[in-house]
Amino acid sequence: MPLQTPPPTPTIPFDPNQLIPLIGMIGGMIVAGVVLYAFFKSDLAAAIAERIRAGIHRKKRWKVLGASGSTRRSAGTPTPATSRSWSSA
């Protein structure tokens, strides 16, 4: 009578060690979602949003590079037409 080996035990088609990082990532996303939800419902987030909205509606004119904001010249400032340092006269 020949000896037979027992049939192989059925195995699962994936490595269970790969589930641990996947479960950790899903859990981390859930925790991050709960924290963000709590922050957006807080008074601090409302204050930040109010500050941003107030800044959007404010009419602040930015100075253009090179512009001084006034058109008057002081008495000692030469005009651009006469401000040559290499005049031939």
pLDDT single digits (tens) 31-85:
999 999 999 999 999 999 999 998 887 766 666 666 555 555 555 555 555 555 5
Q: Which residue has the higher pLDDT, 41 or 16?
A: 41
Quick check: is 26 in a domain? yes
Quick check: is 24 in a domain? yes
Quick check: is 46 in a domain? yes
Quick check: is 51 in a domain? yes
Quick check: is 65 in a domain? no
Quick check: is 88 in a domain? no
52 is in which domain, residue-wise?
19-56
Quick check: is 37 in a domain? yes
In this structure, are residues 39 and 45 in contact, taking their beta carbons and an 8 Å threshold?
yes
Q: What's the number of domains the chain is made of? A: 1
